[in-house]
Structure 1
Amino acid sequence: PEYAHEFPLSSRLIGQFENPHLLLLAGLFHDIAKGRGGDHSLLGQRDALRFCHQHGITPDDTALIVWLVRHHLLMSATAQKQDLSDQDVIAAFAANIPDERHLTALYLLTVADVRGTSPKVWNAWKGKLLEDLYQATRHYLAHGRIADQIGARQREAAAMLSLYAIQPESYRAFWEQLDDDYFNQHEAQEIAWHTRVLALPRCGGAPSPVGAASAAKPFASKPAPTDMPEMRQIDAGKAVIKTRLSRIGEGLQVLIFRPDQPYLFARICNFFARLNYNIMEAKVHTTQLGYALDSFLVMDANHDKTAYRDVMNYIEYALAEYIGNAETIPEPAFGRQSRQLKHFPIAPEVDIRLDEKGHCILSLIAGDRPGLLARIAYLLTRHQVTIRSAKINTLGARAEDTFWLTCKELPDSEAILSLRNALLCQLK
């Protein structure tokens, strides 16, 4: 109960879970075989099975404990390294889950495992990823199909906008500029926020930022309510930058909307590296009119109680100035290497593969240091590769990052090999 404020879902689930001592046994054995050589999940599974037989644990309970030890890394790896907006990812994960009881047990064990490793490893963003995967898989197990994500999110976002007396006529044209990937990647509350910032007319019926940019017909057939906050218009080449406190309770969400340009993602990454902020998640989208609509979740790298509200205005102003600079971006520099990495270097690993849909996925492991993400983004842009989205996972001094890429040449094996070698050289 004392942790209910920090883990509301976990607290509710553990209170309803029958025989919670089974989770304690799974937790005891899940890492017991580390250091023996080989897959510690398989070795630990054998130890758990032997223990259960020796102590007369029922076959059903034994099966649950052994299954948890065998698959205790599955949920964390899926949540942090795969695209949860991809319905096939949810279906593939659910194929490994026998029933909802196993899913709940795995979720509870995963939260305890990640949170118990170190306070620096756990953060609210990882908690949100695990909860999203749990809820999506629970729906799949209950209904035998994936939820209609796009329709559901549009309806939920529209309901949120209606609370501000914003009618669908005000933003329908804006939504028509966005493809399915946008609605799959963003939650309803993010869509509603973006819409309020970008698609609404100014007081007095002036055109909206998006409308001014596209020279299209006004988005609203009705004048905006008189109490609607005035929206900024987009001048040619100027960026709209908006920040807000993250809804997960930690960090900032940053929205960037401007005409797309080369090295834009690298510039943004370099800005936050200089600010000593970690980018936890990046969602990159380009509208049909050629505008970049990018959103980031950023957190202070110092892991202290940052007063994010105090830096919001500065980030909006300074980032707009930084990415508005027309000069060619210099190659970002690495920051100082930590003492831990100097004595215990991490050999970089790069994996580039195509999924079943032909999408290119880049996974890399390297020693974390300031400027790492900016250098990766710079190199990818130089190879004419576009980042669709990214998940950034930092485990102490170890960075495990995943990128979803778009490039016409990448399906070619020689292009993949060339990019992989360039990344390895960059990360050494």
Structure 2
Amino acid sequence: MIEIRNPRDLIRRRDLTAGLEKLADELPVEQPAFRNAALGLLKEALAAGRAEIRLRFDGARVADAGLVCAREYSFLIDQLIRVIHDLATERVFRLANRTAGERLSVVAVGGYGRGELAPQSDIDLLFLFPYKQTAWGEQVVELMLYLLWDMGLKVGHSTRSLDDCIRLAKQDLTIRTALLESRYIWGDEELPRKLRLRFLKEVVAGTGPDFIEAKLTERDQRHQRMGDSRYVVEPNIKDGKGGLRDLHTLFWIAKYLYQNNSIADLVDEGVFTVEENRRFQSAQAFLWTVRCHLHYLAGRPEERLTFDVQRELATRMRYTDHAGTRGVERFMKHYFLIAKDVGDLTRIFCAALEQQHKRKAKFGLARFGLRKREVEGFVLDGTRLDVKDDKVFAEKPIEMLRLFHVAQARNLDIHPNALRQIRQHLRLINAKLRADPEANRLLLEMLTSEKDPETTLRRLNEAGVFGRFIPDFGRVVAQMQHDMYHVYTVDEHSIRAIGLLSRIEKGELADDHPLSHKVIHQIKSRRVLYLAVLLHDIAKGRGGDHSVLGEEVALKLCPRVGLSEQETETVAWLVRWHLAMSATAFKRDISDPKTVADFIGRVQSLERLRLLLVLTVADIRAVGPTVWNGWKGQLLRELYFQAENALSGGHATEGREARVRGAQEALRAQLPDWPPAESERYLRRHAASYWLAFDTDTHVRHARMVRQAERAGQSLTVETRSDRFRAVTEVTVFTPDHPGLFARIAGAMAIAGANILEAKIFTTGDGMALDAFSIQESDGSAFDRPDRLARLSASIERALGGEVNLRDVLAKSRGTWPKRTDVFTVAPLVLFDNEASATHTVIEVNGRDRPGLLHDLTYAMYRLSLSISSAQISTYGERAVDVFYVKDMFGLKIDQKHKLAAIERRLLQALAAPDGTAADGKAPRPKQAQRSRETATAAE
């Protein structure tokens, strides 16, 4: 039991009461002057108590500082309520002779009833009367509430009779739970005793199983609302999975069944061991300390560990950078390990209750006589495998792995008693067991099983077996990455990726990933693929390139688990290059033959290509629920098909002229109504790069759009086409070319709320710009709402017509960026690559994302007289990675060092612009049409 240190230093109730008594002697209690003066004394006492609690908390170094803080707040409020009650009943509304009905008791309910109150939490009160409320009671309650509210406290209250409480508790689970935690504060002492007795007799008796079922269902529904994972990177410390509310649920159930006031009493009941009670107390103390820090930091009842508070919380709780891991990541890892402990305790607790109360097993198997029987050396209890006795794991540690193997093969769960035994014997998973071929065979079979490997791996992980058997995996358990892109911890991400891989193989995701579903069945070694997916992030958090370090881990681990030398080499290669396909597809122009040729040079075989495709899809899908979209799928498919063609005997770089001629002939065939002379003039208007960039359908669409615009005499044409499967909207702009056109269009799209994914920029031989953009909504869906498309077209027209000041509008839009993400900083970086393309310099720009960033970058390039031929735009949480294929004003690559240095300086300035505008603070203006960007000619 946590005791409050020096309670008199928090509040001196007698002195406060004496001060109020003195006021009552000096001023008429019914006058506003008295109430104002009394309120002043109460506020002063509250402020002094709060300051003392905060001082103690900030200076504390003990693990239970948060619980002490919560208990001290509860004590402080108790004393104030007692003083206010006495003031109301003995001075302001004093009755010489109260009737039997004029009795009142003030009762704490909810968390306050447990004697725990966070710094910014609500105070839940029950004003309890023997019968219906009287006029005197109404006056007392009203005065008490108004004084508490005027003091700035947030008070939730109910006013009920004994009968009301019992009747409502039978009907409403929330009220029943609140009364379960009720605690007498002040007033009539007999009423709470009567309520307690009646509550136990009329509400609790005989309803234990129903209450347990209801509370666990309530918990599951809460978990669903919170994302159903304890490993999300912005967890809710109160209501999230593994949070305080899960501990409260255990407390409620224990109190309902055993009428205990402490979880520690469950040791005597045989529900928890001494060690499990210690883990409960440790988890509760940690979570309460975090919660109190969070309330103080936010200045409000905030329960989410959002990005903007995690770093400060880590500092306040004295987590420092260590061994290549940032302090904030160490803090969050501790949080996730605590959340995991809460899950373990919940399973153990529920199993013990089921055993003690002989509750019906899941699916009702007990009625068929299957409650207890032996299965492959284990005991089947309902639908869960248990051990025969407590010596099994001590005598044969390999049985810890075989238990999960049998459970997976027979679609069974693991009994919490077995999990308890595993935890007590984890130390026996040592080097000897890790070197055992049979143990490694069991693990590999579980990993590659067709029977839900994700669930089995998660069970192994939560039991602690996985991290002990594969220590490298143990290093990433609960390892988070402090960014906006990764939603889960590294271990959870890897296990989810295995689950996605299994679902792709079974065809459950065939509609989302038709190519991956086809390809996975052409792969020669399933276990190579599954092991590569498991290990692809195994070396994160070590302070180096996790791909390179992971390759080293794979080379050591794969032979141990039974892979051949060739399989080991392939797994190691996949881990080393698991980002290669996504980097090529999302950051390079895959219509450029050299891009595909370089990718093929790295992959070298169809088997590796197939493995890499499926690994890439599983990896991206497992990052988070909103990361994957049809656009990314289309880019990966295009790259795959081009690479497959080349690896199957085709050519990636050869036949460029033939491909151009083939594209032109295909267009002619689709335009039979065009006179030959008109077709020939149109074909000569475009450079070779244009014909290689699009398919025939797009060429036809562009040709008809250009013809219609010119016949109508339009100086600007904007056409949109949405593709729901690819989750993208294509926007084509046809207008006279002029310097800074790309920058102005990018700014207009930013104003309209569109995210640009890709841009292909072309200038015809007669000085017209034909620019094609692929855009999405900010949530990754197609930008296809009619009102949004209309706004987009109008925004482009106004921007190109000089009717809008892009600088001002984009500066205002910066205020729409989520404030909680301001904590993230991304080191600006500009990279040049003159080898990635035969005709262009490739510039990759990395920086902190913000509204209008692409406008700033493209405007900076316009000021540098660079022509942009294409752009690939990617966002990874707070990080923007934009890649541009550019030439200088003469249509050449940029290879002079001083020019590259100048470009780098200007782009870094654009990245650092604090107000979301261009670095020099100016917006581009239309100038005389000239071929300043894409100076390519038809002969190119």
Specify the TM-score bucket, using the shorter chain as the normaliser: 0.7 to 0.9
Name the stretch that deviates more: 260-269 or 396-405.
Answer: 260-269
C-alpha deviation, 1:126, in angstroms: 1.7
Name the stretch that deviates more: 353-362 or 173-182.
Answer: 353-362
Distance 1:307 1:91 in 2: 35
Name the stretch that deviates more: 152-161 or 9-18.
Answer: 152-161
> Could you tell me which of 811, 816, 822 is aligned with 1:342?
822
Query: Is residue 2:676 matched to residue 1:174?
Result: no
Q: Which amino acid counterpart does residue 532 of structure 2 have in structure 1? A: A
* Contact 1:150 1:183 (C-alpha < 8 Å) held by counterparts: no
More relative contact order, 1 or 2 (CA 8 Å, 6+ apart): 1
> Could you tell me which of 616, 619, 644 is aligned with 1:113?
619
* Contact 1:340 1:397 (C-alpha < 8 Å) held by counterparts: no
Deviations 1:277-304 (A, max 9, x none): 1000000110010001101001111446
* Contact 1:23 1:105 (C-alpha < 8 Å) held by counterparts: yes
**Residue 550 of structure 2: aligned partner:** 44
Any residues of structure 2 matched to 1:136-155 within 5 Å, and which?
Answer: 136-143=642-649, 145-146=651-652, 148=655, 151-152=658-659, 155=662
Distance 1:121 1:335 in 2: 23
Name the stretch that deviates more: 255-264 or 326-335.
Answer: 326-335
C-alpha deviation, 1:353, in angstroms: 4.1
Any residues of structure 2 matched to 1:222-301 within 5 Å, and which?
Answer: 233-235=712-714, 238-246=715-723, 249-301=726-778
**Residue 76 of structure 2: aligned partner:** none
Q: Which amino acid counterpart does residue 99 of structure 1 have in structure 2? A: S
Q: Given the superposition, is the C-alpha separation of residues 312 and 160 from structure 1 closer, same or farther in structure 2, using an over 3 Å criterion? A: farther
Q: Which amino acid counterpart does residue 857 of structure 2 have in structure 1? A: I
C-alpha deviation, 1:67, in angstroms: 1.6
**Residue 324 of structure 2: aligned partner:** none
> Could you tell me which of 620, 627, 641 is aligned with 1:135?
641
C-alpha deviation, 1:17, in angstroms: 2.6
* Contact 2:528 2:571 (C-alpha < 8 Å) held by counterparts: yes
**Residue 395 of structure 1: aligned partner:** 876
Distance 2:871 2:718 in 1: 20
Q: Given the superposition, is the C-alpha separation of residues 391 and 323 from structure 1 closer, same or farther in structure 2, using an over 3 Å criterion? A: same
* Contact 2:722 2:783 (C-alpha < 8 Å) held by counterparts: no
C-alpha deviation, 1:79, in angstroms: 1.5
Distance 1:34 1:371 in 2: 32
Deviations 1:81-125 (A, max 9, x none): 222122122222111223111111111111111121123332222
Distance 1:305 1:182 in 2: 25
Unaligned runs of 5+ in 1: 200-207, 213-232
Any residues of structure 2 matched to 1:3-402 within 5 Å, and which?
Answer: 3-143=509-649, 145-146=651-652, 148=655, 151-152=658-659, 155=662, 159=666, 162=669, 165-166=672-673, 169=676, 171-199=679-707, 209-210=709-710, 233-235=712-714, 238-246=715-723, 249-303=726-780, 307-325=784-802, 330=807, 333=811, 335-336=814-815, 337-355=817-835, 357=838, 359-402=840-883
Give the secondary-structure state (helix, strand or coil) at the position aligned to 2:766: coil
TM-score when normalising by structure 1: 0.84
Distance 1:140 1:340 in 2: 47
* Contact 1:239 1:324 (C-alpha < 8 Å) held by counterparts: no
C-alpha deviation, 1:61, in angstroms: 2.2
Find the structure with the greater CA-based Rg: 2
C-alpha deviation, 1:305, in angstroms: 7.1
Q: Given the superposition, is the C-alpha separation of residues 151 and 316 from structure 1 closer, same or farther in structure 2, using an over 3 Å criterion? A: farther
Deviations 1:30-69 (A, max 9, x none): 1100111222222212222222211222233222212211
Q: Sequence identity of aligned pairs in percent?
A: 32
Name the stretch that deviates more: 128-137 or 404-413.
Answer: 404-413
* Contact 1:44 1:69 (C-alpha < 8 Å) held by counterparts: yes
Unaligned runs of 5+ in 2: 1-506, 913-940
C-alpha deviation, 1:135, in angstroms: 0.9
**Residue 439 of structure 2: aligned partner:** none
Distance 1:342 1:269 in 2: 23
* Contact 1:255 1:294 (C-alpha < 8 Å) held by counterparts: yes
Determine which structure has the larger strand proportion and give its number.
Answer: 1
Distance 2:541 2:846 in 1: 21
Give the secondary-structure state (helix, strand or coil) at the position aligned to 1:34: coil
**Residue 418 of structure 1: aligned partner:** 902
RMSD: 2.6
Distance 2:746 2:877 in 1: 20
Q: Which amino acid counterpart does residue 902 of structure 2 have in structure 1? A: S
- Give the total of aligned pairs: 397
Determine which structure has the larger helix proportion and give its number.
Answer: 2
Give the secondary-structure state (helix, strand or coil) at the position aligned to 1:172: helix
* Contact 1:44 1:70 (C-alpha < 8 Å) held by counterparts: yes
Q: Which amino acid counterpart does residue 364 of structure 1 have in structure 2? A: V
Q: Given the superposition, is the C-alpha separation of residues 154 and 124 from structure 1 closer, same or farther in structure 2, using an over 3 Å criterion? A: farther
* Contact 1:150 1:184 (C-alpha < 8 Å) held by counterparts: no
Deviations 1:348-388 (A, max 9, x none): 11123433646222111111111111111111112222211
Deviations 1:221-280 (A, max 9, x none): xxxxxxxxxxxx234xx2011111137531211111111122211111111111111000
Name the stretch that deviates more: 257-266 or 271-280.
Answer: 257-266
